[in-house]
Amino acid sequence: MTDPVSLAVCPRCGRPLDGPAAHDACRAALELEPPRFCGDCGRRMKVQVVPTGWTATCVEHGIQTS
Protein backbone atom coordinates (compact mmCIF):
# COMPACT_ATOMS: atom_id res chain seq x y z
CA MET A 1 0.00 0.00 0.00
CA THR A 2 0.96 3.61 -0.47
CA ASP A 3 2.85 5.12 2.45
CA PRO A 4 0.08 6.70 4.57
CA VAL A 5 2.25 9.73 5.32
CA SER A 6 2.06 10.79 1.71
CA LEU A 7 -1.73 10.41 1.41
CA ALA A 8 -3.95 13.47 0.98
CA VAL A 9 -7.26 11.69 1.57
CA CYS A 10 -8.40 9.12 4.14
CA PRO A 11 -8.76 5.78 2.33
CA ARG A 12 -11.71 4.84 4.54
CA CYS A 13 -13.96 7.90 4.65
CA GLY A 14 -12.68 9.87 1.66
CA ARG A 15 -12.24 13.13 3.60
CA PRO A 16 -9.01 15.18 3.54
CA LEU A 17 -6.44 14.01 6.07
CA ASP A 18 -5.44 17.59 6.93
CA GLY A 19 -9.08 18.67 7.43
CA PRO A 20 -11.00 19.01 10.71
CA ALA A 21 -12.20 15.35 10.84
CA ALA A 22 -10.30 12.91 13.06
CA HIS A 23 -9.40 9.65 11.39
CA ASP A 24 -8.34 7.49 14.34
CA ALA A 25 -11.47 5.38 14.03
CA CYS A 26 -10.86 5.11 10.28
CA ARG A 27 -7.31 3.90 10.85
CA ALA A 28 -8.53 1.29 13.32
CA ALA A 29 -11.32 0.19 10.97
CA LEU A 30 -8.82 -0.31 8.14
CA GLU A 31 -7.43 -3.29 10.06
CA LEU A 32 -10.58 -5.14 9.01
CA GLU A 33 -11.57 -3.31 5.83
CA PRO A 34 -9.96 -2.65 2.46
CA PRO A 35 -9.50 1.01 1.46
CA ARG A 36 -12.51 2.45 -0.39
CA PHE A 37 -11.12 5.84 -1.50
CA CYS A 38 -7.96 6.60 -3.40
CA GLY A 39 -5.53 8.26 -1.00
CA ASP A 40 -4.15 10.46 -3.78
CA CYS A 41 -7.31 11.87 -5.34
CA GLY A 42 -10.21 10.76 -3.13
CA ARG A 43 -12.05 8.92 -5.91
CA ARG A 44 -14.13 5.92 -4.86
CA MET A 45 -12.20 2.86 -5.97
CA LYS A 46 -13.43 -0.42 -7.41
CA VAL A 47 -12.59 -2.91 -4.69
CA GLN A 48 -12.61 -6.68 -5.01
CA VAL A 49 -12.24 -8.71 -1.83
CA VAL A 50 -11.28 -12.39 -2.09
CA PRO A 51 -10.73 -14.85 0.80
CA THR A 52 -6.99 -14.20 0.93
CA GLY A 53 -6.71 -10.53 -0.03
CA TRP A 54 -8.12 -7.55 -1.90
CA THR A 55 -7.51 -5.37 -4.94
CA ALA A 56 -8.51 -1.70 -5.16
CA THR A 57 -8.44 0.25 -8.41
CA CYS A 58 -8.52 4.01 -8.98
CA VAL A 59 -9.16 4.98 -12.62
CA GLU A 60 -6.50 7.65 -12.30
CA HIS A 61 -3.92 6.14 -9.95
CA GLY A 62 -4.03 2.46 -10.71
CA ILE A 63 -4.18 -0.69 -8.64
CA GLN A 64 -3.34 -1.37 -4.99
CA THR A 65 -3.32 -4.86 -3.52
CA SER A 66 -3.21 -6.23 0.02
Partner 1 sequence: MATENTDVLDRAREQVLERGIGLDEAGVLEILRLPDERVTEALELAHEVRMRWCGPEVEVEGIVSLKTGGCPEDCHFCSQSGLFSSPVRSVWLDIPSLVEAAKQTAATGASEFCIVAAVRGPDAKLMSQMREGVKAIKEAVDINVAASLGMLSQEQVDELVEMGVHRYNHNLETCRTYFPNVVTTHSWEERWGTLKMVRDSGMEVCCGGIIGMGETLEQRAEFAVQLAELDPHEVPLNFLNPRPGTPFGDQPTMDPKDALRAIAAFRLALPKTILRYAGGREITLGDLGTRDGLLGGVNAVIVGNYLTTLGRPASADLQLLQELKMPVKALSATL
Q: Which stretch binds partner 1 (CB under 8 A): 1-9, 15-23, 49-57?
A: 49-57
Q: Which residues contact 11 (CB under 8 A, 6 or more apart)?
A: 26, 30, 35, 36, 37, 38, 39
Q: Which amino acid is at 54?
A: W
Q: Which of 13, 15, 40, 61 binds partner 1 (CB under 8 A)?
A: 13
| Among partner 1, Zn ion, none, partner that 9 touches (CB below 5 to 8 angstroms by kind) | none
What number of chain residues touch partner 1 (CB under 8 A)?
Answer: 20
Of the candidates 32, 38, 61, 64, which one interacts with partner 1 according to CB under 8 A? 32
Going from the C-alpha of 43 to that of each of 21, 51, 52, 60, the distances in angstroms are: 18, 25, 25, 9
Q: Binder to partner 1 among 53, 62, 63, 65 (CB under 8 A)?
A: 53
